[in-house]
């Protein structure tokens, strides 16, 4: 009876989210409704919700999550310093004279931008506003241009230091501990945000490589879809161009490398590295624009994005409490362990569920709502590595972000794309990239070493 | 009557925006103080638990205190597949129902649940579990009450605005 109510609550949440009231409060409100219903029917003790203040206090004092506002601050600051525009212009000059060259530079710049930001919406908007018109002006196929921009922007979800990886790392480390305690291991191993960062690097680079191969393949097969840019006689060339590129590229690249490197080398925690990154971004922006007048907008944006993410976490906490109270976690555990195909079947089912939920929920909501329910079960199964599971989830979430018809990236892009780019163009253009993502998931499935080799080498006990 | 209710909504907006401004400054403190922690630790080999905890306090203040103002500026994520395509009146209906059915009950329940929790903490002037930490955990916990109260208030303002749109003669909306 309680389990039926738990299932009904999941369905109700999915349906009511579509109505369009802010996600965090919809989650909390619907869950409270079901808790009252459960209490009225005598299935659930409403007093269970008494744990809520302590849970929220736990979120407030979680020092892993402290890295989030710092990374967001760094990303927003780099965005304000207009490094992206400068990079794109210079890279476009360098590679633009080859067919497909502009597409290649868009992906390379997009990767840098994504790594700096870690927030898909912001990356999509910047790229949609700056990159897409440039590509169209130079005669790129509309679908190809839109697909490239949308897909590259979603790399922000998997490229370290992505916000998604920090949040996933935090949730997985709790789940991993719970799973090992349940198995009777009272000296549990841990999984950290740094593990996930290290695990994400190879898959993210492979994805970039596959995107680049696709662009080159299109340029070879149908050159008119991605024409070369006519040389601009007034533009700097040779040494001058090289110098421009270095000055545009080196500083942001060095900053990101220093931040990531110090985390991966175990010198600094993600939080510490992120604060250095944030201060570095301020210095870069000062060099570009002079600090006057942009600090406050960056603070405001950082505060808004951070609060938006954490309030979803608060809403999802209410959901988890009620879901457990109704016995939903027992139902999930039983279903997953009894699936045909054993461990593989269970992981596959979770991946399919996450992919489908991606139609309604955003990556943050899935991480906060779904991961704490399914991960402790999966991580108790033999052979399920927490880093591997995390990276599979991250790639999967990234895919759901750009999957038609409801992928959020497509909506962000629709919002800023020039009117001549139709929704159909965007859908058509993104399909090859979605196929690449699925290929990546299959590759990870059969070659888990892609994700686990680097963290195991770096942090071998 | 319309004017009075609209004024109440404006007044609420002013309060939550002021709380939001405090949160915004917390973000700068988080960056600066965490950087100071890093410099002190790596350059001078000196660690201060109080400084480290103050970063955590500011971080908590940042997202908890900003929540109502973020609602006011409509920056909380919505699944806007249908919402974005709705007319101003349908959107107002969604906001009114959402505020009354989801947000206000949540704010009220959270406030009621948190009150005894915070009272217990004030009763003993709860401090940090670390001996050399900040002695203000009772204040930190009180932020949850401010969170619940401020999102509740902002929910009232949102409902008022939505109701005003819905009760306005619909003809006036053609432009």
How does pLDDT run across A181-213, given as a tens digit for each residue?
Answer: 888 877 778 888 999 999 999 999 999 999 999
The pLDDT tens digits of the residues spanning B26-40 come to 999 999 999 999 999
pLDDT classification of A461: cutoffs 50, 70, 90: low
Supply the pLDDT for residue B175.
44
CB contact under 8 A, B26 and A303: yes
Q: How far apart are CA A250 and CA A255, in angstroms?
A: 8
What single-letter DSSP state applies at residue A227? P
Residue B2 has pLDDT above 70, yes or no: yes
The pLDDT tens digits of the residues spanning A309-360 come to 899 999 999 999 999 899 888 898 888 888 888 889 999 999 999 988 887 7
* ipTM tops the 0.95 cut: no
Cis bond before residue A87 (omega within 30° of 0): no
pLDDT classification of A240: cutoffs 50, 70, 90: confident
pLDDT classification of A162: cutoffs 50, 70, 90: confident
* Dihedral sign for Cα atoms in the order A128, A130, A131, A137: positive
pLDDT greater at residue B137 or residue A190:
B137
Supply the pLDDT for residue A106.
86
CB contacts of B64 in chain A (<8 Å) are 60, 307, 310
Supply the pLDDT for residue B110.
97
CB contact under 8 A, A20 and B91: yes
Range of weakest confidence among A166-175, A236-245, B62-71, B87-96:
A236-245
Q: Which residues contact B56 (CB under 8 A, 6 or more apart)?
A: A60, A61, A63, A66
Closest approach of A253 to chain B, Cα-based (Å):
20
Supply the pLDDT for residue A187.
75
pLDDT classification of A116: cutoffs 50, 70, 90: low
Taking residues A87-105, what's their average pLDDT?
78
- The residue among A209, A124, A210, A120 whose CA lies nearest residue A165 is A120
Q: Which residues contact A161 (CB under 8 A, 6 or more apart)?
A: A67, A71, A115, A118, A197, A259, A260, A263, A270, A273, A274, A277
Supply the pLDDT for residue B173.
47
Chain B window 107-146: which residues touch A at a Cβ cutoff of 8 Å? 109-110, 113-114, 117-118, 140-141, 143-144
The mean of the pLDDT values for chain A is: 86
Q: How far apart are CA B72 and CA B82, in angstroms?
A: 21
Residue A251 has pLDDT above 90, yes or no: no
Q: How far apart are CA A158 and CA A165, in angstroms?
A: 7
CB contacts of B118 in chain A (<8 Å) are 53
Taking residues B130-158, what's their average pLDDT?
94
Q: Which residues contact B123 (CB under 8 A, 6 or more apart)?
A: none
Closest approach of B169 to chain A, Cα-based (Å):
24
Supply the pLDDT for residue B46.
87
Taking residues A237-245, what's their average pLDDT?
70
CB contacts of B25 in chain A (<8 Å) are 299
Chain A within 8 Å of B25 (Cβ-Cβ)?
yes
CB contact under 8 A, A25 and B35: no
Taking residues A90-119, what's their average pLDDT?
77
Closest approach of B115 to chain A, Cα-based (Å):
9
Taking residues B140-153, what's their average pLDDT?
97
pLDDT classification of B174: cutoffs 50, 70, 90: very low
Q: How far apart are CA A32 and CA A13, in angstroms?
A: 11
Q: pTM for the complete prediction?
A: 0.87
Element (H, E) at A23: helix A23-40
pLDDT greater at residue A225 or residue B80:
A225
pLDDT greater at residue A2 or residue A275:
A275
Taking residues A450-454, what's their average pLDDT?
89
Q: How far apart are CA B71 and CA B150, in angstroms?
A: 10
Supply the pLDDT for residue A12.
93
pLDDT greater at residue A132 or residue A433:
A433
- The residue among A298, A264, A269, A263 whose CA lies nearest residue A281 is A298
- The residue among A413, A396, A326 whose CA lies nearest residue A361 is A396
**Are A285 and B44 within 8 A, CB to CB?**
no
Taking residues A10-28, what's their average pLDDT?
91
The pLDDT tens digits of the residues spanning B105-125 come to 999 999 999 999 999 999 999
Q: Which residues contact B128 (CB under 8 A, 6 or more apart)?
A: B49, B53, B134, B135, B137
pLDDT classification of A120: cutoffs 50, 70, 90: low
Range of weakest confidence among A26-30, A162-166, B94-98:
A162-166
Range of weakest confidence among A57-71, A116-130, A156-170, B128-142:
A116-130
Chain A within 8 Å of B8 (Cβ-Cβ)?
no
C-alpha dist (Å) from residue A241 to A113, A306, B97, B132: 21, 38, 58, 56
Supply the pLDDT for residue A118.
58
Share of chain A above pLDDT 70, in %: 93
pLDDT greater at residue B137 or residue A119:
B137
Residue A87 has pLDDT above 80, yes or no: no
The mean of the pLDDT values for chain B is: 91
Taking residues A446-454, what's their average pLDDT?
90
Residue B171 has pLDDT above 60, yes or no: no
Supply the pLDDT for residue A233.
56
Q: Which two tokens stand for residue A142?
A: 């509309």
Q: Which two tokens stand for residue A304?
A: 């808004």
Chain B window 152-171: which residues touch A at a Cβ cutoff of 8 Å? none
Chain B within 8 Å of A355 (Cβ-Cβ)?
no
Chain A window 106-165: which residues touch B at a Cβ cutoff of 8 Å? none
pLDDT classification of B4: cutoffs 50, 70, 90: confident
């Amino acid at each position: 009876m309680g389990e039926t109510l738990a299932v009904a609550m999941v369905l109700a949440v999915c349906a009511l989210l579509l109505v369009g009231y802010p996600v965090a409060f919809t989650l909390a409100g619907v869950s409270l409704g079901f808790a009252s219903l459960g209490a009225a029917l005598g299935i659930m003790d409403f007093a269970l919700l008494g744990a809520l203040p302590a849970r929220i206090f736990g979120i407030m004092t979680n020092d892993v999550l402290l890295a989030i506002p710092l990374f967001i601050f760094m990303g927003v600051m780099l965005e304000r310093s207009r490094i992206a525009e400068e990079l794109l212009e210079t890279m476009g000059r360098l590679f633009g004279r080859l067919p497909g060259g502009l597409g290649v530079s868009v992906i390379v710049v997009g990767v840098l931008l994504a790594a700096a930001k870690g927030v898909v919406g912001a990356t999509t908007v910047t790229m949609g506003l700056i990159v897409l018109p440039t590509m169209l002006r130079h005669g790129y196929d509309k679908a190809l241009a839109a697909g490239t921009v949308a897909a590259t922007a979603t790399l922000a979800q998997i490229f370290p230091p992505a916000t998604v990886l920090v949040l996933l790392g935090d949730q997985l480390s709790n789940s991993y501990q719970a799973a090992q305690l349940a198995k009777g291991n009272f000296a549990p191993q841990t999984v950290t945000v740094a593990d996930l960062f290290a695990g994400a690097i190879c898959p993210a680079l492979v994805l970039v490589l596959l995107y680049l191969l696709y662009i080159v393949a299109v340029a070879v097969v149908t050159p008119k879809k991605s024409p070369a840019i006519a040389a601009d006689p007034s533009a700097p060339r040779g040494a001058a161009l090289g110098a421009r590129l270095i000055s545009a590229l080196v500083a942001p690249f060095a900053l990101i490398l220093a931040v990531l490197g110090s985390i991966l080398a175990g010198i600094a925690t993600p939080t510490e590295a992120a604060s250095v990154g944030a201060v570095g971004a301020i210095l870069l922006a000062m060099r570009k624009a002079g600090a006057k007048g942009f600090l406050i907008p960056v603070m405001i944006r950082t505060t808004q994005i951070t609060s938006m993410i954490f309030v979803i976490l608060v809403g999802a906490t209410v959901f988890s409490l009620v879901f457990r109270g109704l016995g939903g976690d027992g139902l999930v555990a039983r279903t997953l362990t009894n699936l045909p195909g054993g461990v593989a079947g269970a992981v596959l089912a979770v991946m399919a569920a996450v992919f489908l939920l991606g139609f309604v929920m955003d990556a943050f909501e899935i991480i906060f709502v779904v991961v704490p329910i399914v991960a402790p079960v999966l991580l108790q199964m033999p052979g399920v590595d927490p880093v591997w599971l995390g990276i599979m989830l991250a790639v999967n979430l990234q895919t759901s972000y750009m999957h038609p018809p409801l992928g959020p990236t497509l909506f962000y892009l629709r919002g800023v794309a020039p009117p001549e780019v139709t929704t159909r163009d965007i859908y058509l253009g993104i399909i090859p990239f979605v196929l690449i993502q699925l290929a990546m998931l299959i590759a990870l499935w059969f070659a888990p070493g892609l994700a686990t080799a680097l963290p195991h080498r770096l942090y071998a006990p | 009557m319309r004017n009075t209710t609209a004024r109440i909504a404006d007044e609420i907006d002013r309060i939550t925006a002021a709380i939001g401004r405090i949160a915004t400054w917390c973000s700068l403190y988080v960056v600066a103080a965490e950087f100071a922690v890093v410099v002190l630790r790596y350059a001078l080999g000196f660690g201060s638990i109080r400084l480290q905890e103050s970063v955590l306090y500011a971080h908590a203040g940042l997202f908890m205190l900003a929540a109502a103002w973020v609602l006011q500026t409509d920056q909380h994520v919505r699944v806007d597949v249908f919402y974005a395509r709705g007319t101003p009146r349908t959107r107002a209906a969604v906001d009114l129902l959402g505020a009354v059915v989801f947000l206000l009950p949540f704010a009220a329940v959270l406030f009621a649940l948190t009150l005894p929790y915070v009272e217990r903490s004030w009763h003993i002037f709860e401090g940090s579990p670390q001996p050399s930490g900040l002695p203000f955990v009772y204040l930190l916990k009180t932020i949850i009450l401010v969170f619940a109260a401020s999102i509740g208030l902002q929910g009232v303002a949102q409902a008022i605005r939505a109701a005003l749109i819905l009760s306005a003669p619909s003809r006036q909306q053609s432009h």
